[in-house]
Structure 1
Amino acid sequence: MADGKVSIPYGRFLGYRKGDDGLPEVVPEEAEVVRLIYRSFMEGLTAGKIAQMLMEKSITAPGGKEKWHSSTIESILTNEKYKGSALLQKKFTVDFLTKKVKINEGEVPQYFVEHSHPPIIDPEEFELVQAEISRRKAIGRIYSSSNIFSAKIVCSCCGGFFGSKVWHSTSKYRRVIWQCNHKFSNGEKCDTPHFYEDDIKKKFIEVCNRIAPDKADFIASCREIIVLLSDCTALDKKIEEQYAHLNGLATAMQNFIKENAMHPQSEDFYKEKMAEYGKLKTKGEEVLKDLQSKKVARLSRKELLEGLVHTLEENEILIDRFDEKLWRMMVEKVVVRTDGKLTFTLRNGMEVEV
């Protein structure tokens, strides 16, 4: 592992096989399935919906199985090997007699090998997916891929999301409305009104048609932000410094363990010292995770803006009916005011009130 030798469980790993040189080799048809999974996730589908889609398409799961599971999709979406890198020794054997395996939490060295084999997913796209996973986790159970308005519409009173409710579900007057999920919570009623889906769609059409005459300026503002977001030099430097800090801590801890093995300290002193290293390690990892999250958030927004620019260059903003793709790409959030007005915040930071 210290030499950077990558091993993949090929029999149950989608996208790669063992090449003639002993290194991972891309399986083209399986790689297309992996790319479909990543693309579908970024288009808004959940792991469960992706699994269902693959079974409907009669696509075989890893290991030749017919059934896809959400956990399989999640594993594919988070495995760094798909970007051509490998984190080695994630787990280690505690007892060679019982074959007991434990997740590595710093007890033994880990090795991260970049460019260890051909990537199936572009590294930047992989990081964007990790950012989207984090975003959905922060949203929690509210996130749903079944409706494009989910986690987009925000109440100006409490800051919570609007959710869908069905009125007259068993009659011909059945209607789907959107209202604040906390409208009647905590003994206080939010004063924001509810909306029918058609009303929201009409408001979005109005926003698009207001922007249409200044389409060139709108695209130009997006490009300016893309340039700013592309420069991650300062963040990269801080991330590099934090990695060096953590590596230094790991080395110091290993040296202390070796020294203690040769010249045993008191048990209390040893535990105190290891606890100190543990706290420093945890704090350092939190700082690193925060820095990485900030970088990924920048790249994610950059990627979204690039996609929006491409879409707007190929299509008109002036529309007479609701465009779902344009909604997904243009709208960051919609804040509902108590007077019924909607404030659309677009991907480039522009706000439009309708």
Structure 2
Amino acid sequence: MKRITKIEENMLLEKRKLRVAAYCRVSTARDEQLVSLAAQKAHYENYIKSNDEWEFAGLYYDEGISGTKKEKRDGLLAMVAACERGTIDFVITKSISRFARNTTDCLELVRKLLDLNIYIYFEKENLNTGSMESELMLSILSSLAESESVSISENEKWGIKRRFQNGTFIISYPPYGYDNVDGEMVIVPEQAEIVKQIFADTLAGKSTHEIADELNERGVATKKGGHWTPGTINAIIGNEKYTGDVLFQKTYTDSSFNRHQNRGELDQYLMQDHHEAIISKEEFELANAVLKQRGREKGNGYDTGRYQNRYGFSGRICCGECGGKYKRRMHYKPSGQYVAWACANHLKDKESCSQKYITDDALKLAFVTMMNKLVFGHQMVLLPLLQSLRGLNDQSRLLKIEELETAIEKNKEQKQVLTNLMASGYLEPALFNKESNELAAEAETLRQEKDGLMRSVNGDMAKIEELQRLLRFTSKGTMMTEFDDETFLSFAEWITVLSRKEVVFELKCGLSLKERLVEP
């Protein structure tokens, strides 16, 4: 007799995981946007993949816009489109205010996804639209979020204005030369000497370009650890805080959350002797008069963008012996003229630097030779470096950044509660100032820790991006036949001249490659 065994349909079908996507907003027009996005992606990937029944379906995001109109949010609309295509089953977002601050749009989007049998989970409110009995709770919460975007701004402005008026406003991020110690601006001696030197050099007739170059050559770092520019020097010379005074409300935010220079639209508050001065008021006024005069002579005020380097190598060659910059010169011989590059310090004083000139043609040939070596050996040189850099972007740093951002957001909420209590008359000014100062100090500590991690990760990510660009160029297999400024500026950061026979090309991806100089 034949034997028949029934196979249940569930035995044939493997249970499909729930495809979960995340939505977030990130800061805009800032270097840390990529890091913030990577941190949130790491957070959501970790959160979603920790559930065995879920599958990560991607991260959708919008840049740091107000969120008051859904039409302006391409990332949100792209996520909705993916839901309509059936590639997403469930959505996670940090809060209702991040999802939509407009009640009508919020309810409309929720209903639209509910019609597709797709639910949304709001982390902060612990609200799952799939388990709601009605829309009442969501309507109330989104209404609160909508009004909160206005009330927070107004209350913060009120609190800040009060602190402007009574002189208790804390400058949480003081300029170069100062630090924040328990809510007070305190001089950093080493940085203060640099500030004094900047003002002295300006009064001695040096240009902002020259001052910036000299500081970079000495290896002096800016407040954020970067390079000095003429704009940075201009900003220091024009900052009244170095005289011990503070002018509050030099900028303001309009109703559309856009930042503007305050040119009389709002009151300003000048507090004299707010902190210890680094520069006298006389020096400050004289230095600014010098800059204004130069601006009038050049016809462009403070706009230094008009004066850019004319050649690819300009400002990008330094001396390996003394650290000086190389200048472009024309050399004349009976056989004809040619372009050369010479160390500025050697030109001024041969005793201070013995490095002699190098020719433009030899330098260009060296760069072409180096690039062709990378084209030939990119798999042996560039690919291992890319893998190494990718290994540095560990999830622990990204998750720590996300953790710090959450703590910073909580700090802001606590500050808002404090401001509301003060505005309502439930808090004494003395207690408000004490608690506000403590929160400001905590916020500064969190911000500094976050900034340190951001710089670390952002530096790695920038190098990865540059290395990927270089790989795309070299993997085409096309050898360079002649030098062009565009390729050099695209991949090279710096050239260090070791001798008349050898230079080192510092590439944007972090590679330092030595090459011999040979006359063509």
TM (normalized to structure 1)? 0.51
**Partner Cα separation in structure 1 for residue 467 and residue 371 of structure 2:** 16
Alpha-carbon contact 2:389-2:460 (below 8 Å) kept: no
2:72 counterpart residue number: 24
| Counterpart Cα distance in 2 of 1:182 and 1:242 | 47
Pair 1:308-2:356 in alignment: no
Correspondence list, 1:207-222, <5 A = 207-211=370-374, 213-222=376-385
Structure with the larger RCO, 1 or 2 (CA within 8 Å, 6+ apart): 1
CA distance in 2, matches of 1:265, 1:321: 73
Identify unmatched segments of 5+ residues in structure 2: 1-23, 26-68, 75-148, 159-168, 171-222, 232-304
* Partner SS, residue 314 of structure 1: coil
Q: Could you tell me whether the CA contact under 8 Å between 1:183 and 1:189 is conserved in 2?
A: yes
Please give the alpha-carbon distance, in whole angstroms, between the structure 1 residues aligned to 2:495 and 2:394. Answer: 29
Q: What amino acid maps onto 2:312 in structure 1?
A: I
Q: How far 1:173 moved relative to its partner?
A: 7.2
Q: Is 2:322–2:353's contact at 8 Å kept on the other side of the alignment?
A: yes
Q: How does 1:324-343 map to 2 (within 5 A)?
A: 324-338=485-499, 340-343=501-504
- How big is the shift at 1:240? 0.8
Residue 298 (1) aligns with residue 460 (2): yes
Name the % identity: 15
Where do 5+ consecutive residues of structure 1 fail to align?
6-20, 27-87, 96-104, 107-133
String of CA shifts for 1:214-249, please: whole Å, max 9, x gaps: 3431343344245436x3523321211211221222
The 3 A distance-change label for structure 1 pair 165 and 330 is: closer
Aligned to 1:205: 368
SS of 2:427's equivalent in the other structure is coil
The Cα of 1:321 is off from its aligned counterpart by: 2.2
Counterpart contact for 1:152–1:333, Cα < 8 Å: yes
Q: Is the 8 A contact 2:463 2:510 kept in 1?
A: no
1:23 is matched by which residue type in structure 2? E
What residue is the counterpart of 1:75 in the other structure?
Answer: none
Q: Counterpart in 2 of 1:271? A: 433
The AA in structure 2 aligned to 1:293 is R
Structure 2 residue 227 is the aligned partner of structure 1 residue 138:
yes
Once residues 145 and 228 of structure 1 are traced to their aligned partners in structure 2, the CA distance between those partners, rounded to angstroms, is: 37
Quote the Cα distance in structure 1 between the aligned partners of 2:494 and 2:511. 10
Query: What do you get for the CA RMSD once the two structures are aligned?
Result: 4.6
Superposed CA offset, 1:155-177 (max 9, x none): 223445x34334479xx977654
Alignment match, 2:443: 281
Indicate conservation of the 8 Å contact 1:166/1:174, yes or no. no
Instruction: Kindly name which structure, 1 or 2, has the bigger radius of gyration based on alpha carbons.
Output: 2
Cα 1:154–1:279 change in 2 (3 A) is: farther
Is the 1:156–1:336 contact (alpha carbons within 8 Å) kept by the matching residues of 2? Answer: yes
Taking the aligned partners of 2:503 and 2:319, their CA distance within structure 1 comes to 10
Pairing of 1:63-74 with structure 2 (within 5 A): none
Q: Provide the rounded CA distance (Å) in 2 between the counterparts of 1:232 and 1:182.
A: 44
Question: Match of 2:502, as an amino acid?
Answer: K
Aligned residue identity for 1:194: Y
In the TM superposition, residue 342 of structure 1 has moved relative to its aligned partner by 0.8
Letter paired with 2:445: K
CA contact (8 A) 1:156 1:335 kept: yes
Task: Report what 1:30 is aligned to.
Answer: none
The code of the aligned residue for 2:482 comes to R
SS at match of 2:494: strand
225, 228, 233: which one aligns with 2:391: 228
Q: In the aligned structure 2, how far is the partner of 1:291 from the partner of 1:275?
A: 25
Instruction: Return the match for 1:153 from 302, 317, 338.
Output: 317
Contact preservation (8 Å) 1:226, 1:306: no
- Check whether the contact 1:179–1:194 (CA below 8 A) recurs between aligned residues: yes
* Residues 165 and 176, structure 1, Cα contact 8 Å, conserved in 2: yes
Alpha-carbon offset, residue 284 of structure 1? 2.6
Q: Does the CA-based 8 Å contact 2:496-2:503 persist in structure 1?
A: yes
Offset at residue 191 of structure 1 (A): 3.5
Q: Distance in 2 between matches of 1:279 and 1:208?
A: 50
Instruction: Work out the CA distance in 1 between the residues paired with 2:510 and 2:395.
Output: 22
